Amino acid sequence: MNVKVFIRKYTMIIALVVVFVLFAILTGGRLLVPQNLSNLLLQNAYVLIMACGMLMCILTGGNVDLSVGSTVCLVGAVAAQLMAAGIHPLIAIPLCIVIAAVIGIWQGFWIGYIHVPPFICTLAGMFLFRGLGRAILGSKTVAINDPTFLNIFASYINLPGIDDGEVKWSAFIAGCIVAVVLIIHKYVSRNAKMKKGYKLDSAVSEFGKIAIIDVLILAYTWQIAHFRGISVMALWVVAVVLIYEFITSKSAFGRYFYAVGGNEKAAKLSGIDTKKVYFAAYTSMSILAGLSGLIIAARIGSVNGDTGSSFEMDAIGACFIGGASAYGGSGNVVGIIVGAILLGIINQGMSIIGLDNNWQYMVKGAVLLIAVIFDVVSNRKTGKAG
């Protein structure tokens, strides 16, 4: 593989490394402090989760869901009020997810089966659910104090015996287990492939990649072990990311999203139920927005009428920066995760430096524009963009 191909293939990763190193230097190393590394993930948990759902919408043809920020507010508001009324979180949480699903079904129905343009339908939803959320809150800020609720979303894992001291060893042990499992998994799947006589990539590059990922996992878990350990919120994020990675890369239903975005007419004539694809995209998006609503409510500890505002832009931005095509049909979960983390590093790095909020907006805008220009230019070849 020559340099050009390498850069093309790993553009996003290279960009991430460059930005990370840049901010590590600019912040005088403060970005690498355990607390900041831990916060990097937690502060962007909602972006990571919602970007997964947004990817599905974007895959169908560059469509986005503008209503997710409002859904976050609405679901957060319902959760806060339910618990304020003394309802147990184990009842309140499923109820909130059901409400999010209903919102998703509502939008998915109009978009998938009645062909309302997604942009307009979700713009309407953005107003609708924001208003509804504020009405439920009675225009007030409602605090959440229920310890069970906070434990489910915002606590840290503390295993008695291991994590009693200053350093939370459970985090590092978990990191070690994941690292070993990755290596074994690669080894087993290579062997299986070899037995069936399929083509194999070179062992050096495959295990090299795994080695780099393992080192990063070990370094990260080592650092967060020195700051409270693994947070439950991170587990939620990992679960969602793994599910969506599986759907998009391994399942037949996930393949349909790419087909619809690549050529909807051809997909239809191949027997793919395109309506169901749209329906599923917007339903899953709202469910993830609901989950984000709960996570945000737990992290902040209260919900008000402005909770979740402009979250949709963070999710959309992460997807496009992460290489999802603005024309639909291409993009993957790994890419958008990198995009979300890239945005997160820029945000946090600038905050640590103490850069003005206004500047942060400008930098984010520039990064998004560059990412999309890159997509458009590289798409010229496939003839999708003029």
Partner 1 sequence: MSDYILEMHNIVKEFPGVKALDNVNLKVRRGEIHALVGENGAGKSTLMNILSGTYPYGSYTGDIIYNGETCKFTNLRDSERKGIVIIHQELALIPELSIGENMFLCNEHKGKFGIDWDKTFNEAEKHMEQVGLKEDPRTLIKDIGTGKQQLVEIAKALSKKVELLILDEPTSSLNEKDSKMLLDLLMSFKKQGMTSIIISHKLNEISYCADNMTIIRDGTTVETISNENHDIDEDRIIKGMVGREMSARYPERERHISNEIGMEVKNWNVYHPIYTEKKVVDNVSFNVKRGEIVGFSGLQGAGRTELAMSVFGKAYGTGIKGELTINGKSVTLKSVNDAIDAGLAYVTEDRKGNGLILSESIAKNTTMADLKKICKNGIINVDEENKAAEEYKEKMHTKAKNVSQNVGDLSGGNQQKVLLAKWMFTDPDVLIVDEPTRGVDVGAKYEIYCIMNDIVSQGKSIVMISSEMPELLGMCDRIYVMNEGRIVAEMSASEATQEKIMAEILKSDK
> Between residues 160 and 383, which has the closer beta carbon with respect to partner 1?
383
Q: Which helix (H) or strand (E) holds 302?
A: strand 302-303
> In this structure, what token pair is assigned to residue 201?
């990539």
Q: Least CB distance from residue 187 to partner 1, whole Å?
A: 17
Please, which residue, 31 or 272, has the CB nearer to partner 1? Answer: 272
Q: Which lies closer to partner 1 via its Cβ, residue 226 or residue 275? A: 275
Q: How far is the CB of 246 from partner 1 (least distance, A)?
A: 8
Residue 142: count of CB within 10 angstroms of its CB:
19
- Contact at 8 Å (CB) between 288 and 71? no
Beta carbon nearer to partner 1, 63 or 221: 63
Would you tell me the crossing angle of helices 333-353 and 232-250 to the nearest 10 degrees?
150
Query: Which is nearer to partner 1, 62 or 344 (by Cβ)?
Result: 62
- d(CA 305, CA 284) in angstroms, rounded, equals 24
CB nearer to partner 1: pick between 149 and 257: 257
Q: Shortest approach of partner 1 to residue 68 CB, angstroms? A: 27
CB of 198 to partner 1, least distance (A): 5
Minimal distance in Å, beta carbon 184 to partner 1? 20
Q: How far is it, in rounded angstroms, from Cα 286 to Cα 290? A: 6
Least CB distance to partner 1 at residue 197 (A): 9
Cβ contacts of 197 within 8 Å, gap of 6 or more:
none
CA max distance for the chain: 65
Q: How far apart are CA 196 and CA 82, in angstroms?
A: 55
In the complex, least distance from residue 325 CB atom to partner 1, rounded to whole angstroms: 8
Minimum Å gap between C-beta 200 and partner 1 is 10
Q: Are 267 and 255 in contact (CB under 8 A)?
A: no
308 contacts 298 by C-beta, under 8 angstroms: no
Of residues 39 and 263, the one with the C-beta less far from partner 1:
263
Would you say 265 and 66 are in contact if contact means Cβ atoms under 8 Å apart?
no
Q: Rounded to the nearest whole angstrom, what is the least distance from the CB of residue 326 to partner 1 in the complex?
A: 13
d(CA 347, CA 321): 14
Interacting residues toward partner 1 by CB under 8 A: 193, 196, 198-199, 250-253, 255, 258-259, 262-263, 265-273, 329-330, 381-384
- Looking at the Cβ atoms of 165 and 386, the one nearer to partner 1 is 386
Can you name the residues that pair with 264 across neighbouring β-strands? none
Closer residue to partner 1, CB minimum distance, 202 or 310: 202
Whole-angstrom distance, CA of residue 274 vs CA of residue 113: 9
Tokens read off for 217: 């996992």
What is the rounded distance in angstroms from the CA atom of residue 69 to the CA atom of residue 127? 10
The conformation of residue 142, written as its DSSP 8-state character, comes to E
